[in-house]
Amino acid sequence: MVNWFWFVLMAAGIIFAAISGEISPLNDAIFAAAKDAPLLIIELCGMICLWTGLMKIAEKSGLVQLLGRALSPLIRRLFPDIPPGHPAFPAIIMNVAANLLGIGNAATPFGLKAMEHLQALNGQKDRATPSMVTFLVLNTSCITLMPTLVISMRVSAGSLSPAAIVGPTILASTIGLCFALLFDRLIRVWYRRR
């Protein structure tokens, strides 16, 4: 589905450039992007490796368990169907911690592990449980306190103030999370009444 979305965007750009007679700037942009892409990938890989390593250190040092204890009351309320002490909780907490730090690539393995544990609790393997849906909502709309990946992209693009997006990111992601969790609860109530 996402591939089709990108295909439509690229095709629309090419068609618009052809209709307006501006193919030359399009060609220049394509070749400039092809030249800059390897450097950007190397810079982003370095940033991802750094933050993934820091998350691993945080996990081994017990910082994640401390964060888990701090987040436990909130996670408990969001996921009342999960039994206490279940291995899904550490995976959910690591996913939330990685998303809070703005490193979605490091959050992905933890999200997959959490879904695997939640699927093990699922009685109907062909349907998502309410906890699975809530986790998906939490994962996709989590608050981002430090958008490290976007900041690193802004640094590599030569921004004079790469961290200027921190405040707006926190505000937008907080509003998005509140709305998403509220919508999740409303749909749950509606589904139970149906």
The tokens 């997006």 sit on which residue?
Answer: 165
Closest C-alpha to 91, from 79, 77, 109, 74:
109
In this structure, is the dihedral angle defined by the CA atoms of residues 63, 64, 69 and 70, taken in order, positive or negative?
Answer: positive
SS3 for 69-125 is HHHHHHHHHHCCCCCCCCCHHHHHHHHHHHHHCCCHHHHHHHHHHHHHHHHHHCCCC
The answer for residues whose C-beta is within 8 angstroms of residue 83's C-beta and 6 or more apart is 121
For 75-109, b where at least 16 C-beta lie within 10 A, e where not — what string? beebbeebeeebebbbbbbbbbbbbbbbbbebbee
* 13-27 mean pLDDT: 84
96, two tokens? 């939330």
Which residue would you say has higher pLDDT here, 181 or 100?
A: 181
d(CA 40, CA 54): 21
Q: What is the DSSP letter of 158?
A: T
pLDDT tens digits along 110-169: 899 999 999 998 888 888 888 899 999 998 888 888 787 788 778 878 888 988 988 998
The predicted structure's pLDDT at residue 178: 93
42, two tokens? 């190397």
pLDDT tens digits along 24-78: 888 888 888 888 888 878 877 877 777 678 767 877 887 766 776 787 788 888 8
